[in-house]
Each structure stands twice: as structure tokens, then as C-alpha cells.
């Protein structure tokens, strides 16, 4: 596979950008290769600087649910650009997109548009603390909510519950108010709530975990979180940056019928442009400036070009519920191909799949939480990743991510991918 241009660009890029990338996972370090530099994407395919083309199952980590460069989205964005890129003033489109989000997820009565999932989660947590007057946040081991200081934490060496920073540059004190529970482990949540009682502002959870690979909530786990937060007067925050409009038009909260107090969104709602959001009940969101005392702001928040891409994307998803059925069927076929590969080669493979999200873990254990997810053999993953890439299939360059199927993946793409998975 000729990747000369990518190699050259990678050498140059590392001189002026840390690791040659603007987000660590893109560096391909987890799969022991140098990254490909992508120059174009169309539908279900991406093309690198050496004109190698791949069937893309990363989809920019979720936003490209319609496939890349959907003509209706592109045309509307081009038109919007001609009216100016940014005004720093309220626009009709911010209202329209906010209205669409509230209509899709009734638990969201008011929503604030921001620029990234990190910013959405950071702001949601600040709002939860402002609304409750409490300081502690409970998150789950293996859940990722962006890179704000208070969330880059790991279990402290002593008690499981307290945390220490999990990144350079984060003062120890910043992790003091972040507690860690175990995904799908009700007792770990109950113990924390009992210990911290009326000091917990919120529990934040990925309703379907997609940052330790894909791990599904066990039967009743989300309902348990809904009940226990209500019991202790804490807020429940669903981080739906990945699952929002991905599992279905109403996200994980519609899929599971569990409705949080606050929701964070990103990726799909920007249609590929930098746009994210946090929202919830009116009395919570009215804590946010300029109405309430919780400050949050942003020069490009609700940007007219980004909101155009988001509106067009959501319009297409809403008008075509059949898209979700198609994506789920295609994802199920890919999951079965990975399982068949596992059985045939006596490899250890365990696959989790829900809607258009899936992940193959190279382990013989059932992957139901963080510990079973990390039992996966990351070398096996890297090896299969390399085989797939060299045969034109672009999957996540790290085990603890997800595969994303889009509307643009055709029957032919799926069949070809299954054949290559099976080798
Ligand atoms: P961003 O700040 O990257 O827009 O969103 C942070 C975030 C928040 N919540 C969830 C559930 C997320 O998955 C993310 C970001 N997802 C990663 C993929 N695992 C983005 C890819 C990357 O970091 O380059």
C-alpha cells in the first residue's frame, strides 16, 4: 500500500503539531502505525493523500451518520457561507436547531449550543453544580466525557471512589470533587451515594458506553441511575454526544425509555461542523447566564454555518426513520462477520452491537464493563486493524473506540467488508 504522501506529511506535521495530529487517537499509536492523511471523503468512502480509498467506519467518530459530504448538507452550507460565516449575534437558525433538539428529546426543554462535546459536558456539570448547590460529580470508569480538567481523573490508589488526575497539568485539587463508580455496577453507585449523600450534584453517564469500546447498559441499569439520583436529589446527566440521534432520532433516552435531567449532545447535531449542546429542564437551564448565575459563553457558539449543517442533517434523519433500520441491519451483519471470524479462527472475539454502533473485542470474556473491556488483546486488535486497512477497510485505530455505520454504507460495502473481515 503506497502511503508516501502520508508519511511525508506526518514527518512535516510533527515539527509543528504535537504528535502531528490535533487529537491523540488520530496518531494511530494504539495500532503501531503511522497515521494516514485524509484529503477527501464522499459517502461511505475516504481517500488519503496517496489516493488510496477506504470504506470508512470511523465517520469522523460519529458526525458522518449520513455519510460524508451529503449533497443536501453541502449545498445548504455553501449557501449559508455566502451570507457570512459568523455574526456573534443571535440567528434564526440557532432557534430552529434548538427547537429541533427539544422536539426530538422532550427531556430537554431548553438547550445551549456550544462548540464541542468537551465544552458541552463542562458546562452541563457547572450548571448542575449551580442548580443543586452541590459539588461532587460521579462518573464511570471507562466513560469519556471530553478533556475538561475535572473529568480527566482515574480511581485513586486507595479507595476506589476518590480520584486522582489522569492527565499531566491537572492539579490534584481539581479531581477532588469527581468520584468514580463502575459501569453496570449498581452497588458501586449506591455506596458512593450513601457516602456522599446530599453532596452529589450529578451522576454523568454514557447511556451506551462507546469510549471503552461499545459496552451496553445492563437491563435496568439506567433506570436504577434515574431512581437513585431522584432519591438523593442529584441530577442525572446523559452524555449523548455519541448516542444522540445515533441510536435513533431520540437518542438513548428514547431507546431505553429513561429520561435524564440534563443531556449533552455533539457530533451528529453539527453535521460535521464544530457544534455541540447541553440542555435540560427549564428550571435547570435558566441557571445559565444571562438568565441565571452560571456563566458560560462562546464566540462561535451557534455559528450560522454549523447550525445550517446540523439542521439539514437532523431534517434528513427525521424524514427518514428507515435510515436507522438500514444502519442497524448493516451493523448487525458486520457484527456477525466478526463473530464468525472469531469462531472460524478460534480467535477470541466478543462483539457488542446496538443500532449502528459496534465493537469487536479480542477476548473470550463477555464484555459488560470496564474490566472485561480491557481484557481485550490490543495486539490482536492492532493486527486485524492493519489487515482490514490494507484491504481498504478503515476502522477505529484503537480498540477502545467504536465502529460507526452510516446511511451511505451500501449493501455492496457491507458485503465487501464482511468478506474482508473473514479474510
Ligand atoms: P469533543 O470535545 O471531542 O467534541 O467531545 C468529547 C466527548 C464527549 N462525550 C463523549 C461520549 C465522547 O465520545 C466525546 C468524544 N469522543 C471521541 C471519540 N471517542 C472523539 C474523538 C477524539 O477524541 O478525537
Local mean pLDDT, 10-residue blocks, the chain (423 residues): 97 98 97 98 98 98 98 98 98 98 98 98 98 98 96 75 87 94 97 96 98 98 98 98 98 98 98 98 98 98 98 98 98 97 84 98 95 95 97 97 98 98 90
The residues lining ligand 1, judged by C-beta closer than 6 Å to any ligand atom, are 23, 25, 61, 116-118, 121, 144-146, 206, 211, 239, 241-242, 266, 276, 401
Give the pLDDT confidence score for residue 159 in this predicted structure.
53
What is the reported pLDDT for 324? Answer: 98
3-state secondary structure of 47: strand
Burial class (CB in 10 A: 0-12, 13-18, 19+), 420: middle
* Best CA proximity match to 262, nearest among 248, 274, 251: 251
Residue 155 has a pLDDT of 77
Give the position, in ligand 1's atom list, of the atom nearest the Cα of 25.
Answer: 24
Is residue 385 within a helix (H) or strand (E), and if so which, with residue range?
A: helix 378-390
Residue 349, CA distances (Å) to 74, 282, 308, 359, 373 in order: 39, 45, 41, 10, 11
Residue found under cell 427525521: 318
Instruction: Evaluate whether 202 touches 138 at the Cβ level (below 8 Å).
Output: yes
Residue 157 has what pLDDT?
65
Active site residue 144: yes
Is 131 known to be catalytic?
no
Please tell me the residue having the least CA distance from ligand 1 atom 5: 117
Could you tell me which of 183, 184, 182, 152 has the C-alpha nearest to residue 165? 152
The x, y and z cell numbers of residue 85, run together, are 460565516
The pLDDT of residue 158: 53
CA of 313 to the centre of ligand 1 (A): 19
Per-residue pLDDT at 219: 98
Q: How much is the pLDDT for 3?
A: 97
- In the chain, the N- to C-terminal Cα span, in Å, equals 17
173 is catalytic: no
Ligand 1 pocket, mutate which of 25, 38, 144 (most atoms under 8 A from CB): 144
Amino acid at each position: 500500500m503506497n502511503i508516501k504522501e502520508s508519511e511525508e506529511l506526518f514527518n512535516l506535521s510533527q515539527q509543528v503539531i504535537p504528535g502531528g495530529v490535533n487529537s491523540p487517537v488520530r496518531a494511530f499509536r494504539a495500532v503501531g502505525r503511522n497515521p494516514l492523511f485524509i484529503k477527501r471523503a464522499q459517502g461511505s468512502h475516504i481517500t488519503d493523500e496517496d489516493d488510496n480509498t477506504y470504506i470508512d467506519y470511523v465517520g469522523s467518530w460519529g458526525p458522518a451518520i449520513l455519510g460524508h459530504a451529503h449533497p443536501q448538507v453541502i449545498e445548504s452550507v455553501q449557501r449559508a457561507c455566502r451570507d457570512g460565516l459568523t455574526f456573534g449575534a443571535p440567528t434564526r437558525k440557532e432557534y430552529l436547531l434548538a427547537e429541533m433538539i427539544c422536539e426530538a428529546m422532550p427531556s430537554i426543554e431548553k438547550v445551549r449550543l456550544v462548540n464541542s462535546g468537551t465544552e458541552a459536558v463542562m458546562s452541563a456539570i457547572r450548571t448542575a453544580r449551580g442548580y443543586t448547590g452541590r459539588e461532587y460529580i460521579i462518573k464511570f470508569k471507562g466513560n469519556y466525557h471530553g478533556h475538561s480538567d475535572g473529568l480527566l481523573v482515574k480511581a485513586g490508589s486507595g479507595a476506589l471512589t476518590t480520584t486522582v488526575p489522569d492527565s499531566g497539568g491537572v492539579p490534584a485539587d481539581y479531581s477532588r470533587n469527581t468520584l468514580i463508580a463502575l459501569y453496570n455496577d449498581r452497588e458501586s453507585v449506591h455506596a458512593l451515594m450513601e457516602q456522599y449523600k446530599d453532596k452529589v450534584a450529578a451522576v454523568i453517564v454514557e447511556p451506551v458506553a462507546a469510549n471503552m469500546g461499545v459496552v451496553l447498559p445492563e437491563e435496568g441499569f439506567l433506570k436504577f441511575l434515574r431512581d437513585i439520583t431522584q432519591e438523593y436529589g442529584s441530577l442525572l446527566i446523559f452524555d449523548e454526544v455519541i448516542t444522540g440521534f445515533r441510536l435513533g432520532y431520540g437518542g438513548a433516552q428514547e431507546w431505553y425509555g429513561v429520561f435524564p435531567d440534563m443531556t449533552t449532545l455533539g457530533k451528529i447535531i453539527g453535521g460535521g461542523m464544530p457544534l455541540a449542546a447541553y440542555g435540560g429542564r427549564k428550571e435547570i437551564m435558566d441557571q445559565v447566564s444571562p438568565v441565571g448565575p452560571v456563566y458560560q459563553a462562546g464566540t462561535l457558539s451557534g455559528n450560522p454555518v454549523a447550525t445550517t449543517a446540523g439542521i439539514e442533517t437532523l431534517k434528513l434523519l427525521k424524514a427518514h426513520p428507515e435510515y436507522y433500520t438500514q444502519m442497524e441491519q448493516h451493523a448487525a451483519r458486520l457484527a456477525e462477520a466478526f463473530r464468525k471470524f472469531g469462531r472460524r479462527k478460534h480467535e477470541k472475539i466478543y462483539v457488542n452491537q446496538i443500532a449502528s454502533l459496534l465493537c469487536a473485542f479480542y477476548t473470550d470474556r463477555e464484555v459488560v464493563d470496564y474490566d472485561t473491556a480491557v481484557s481485550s488483546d490490543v495486539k490482536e486488535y492492532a493486527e486485524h486493524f492493519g489487515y482490514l486497512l490494507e484491504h481498504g477497510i478503515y476502522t477505529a485505530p484503537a480498540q477502545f473506540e467504536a465502529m460507526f455505520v452510516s446511511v451511505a454504507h451500501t449493501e455492496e460495502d457491507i458485503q465487501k467488508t464482511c468478506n474482508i473481515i473473514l479474510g
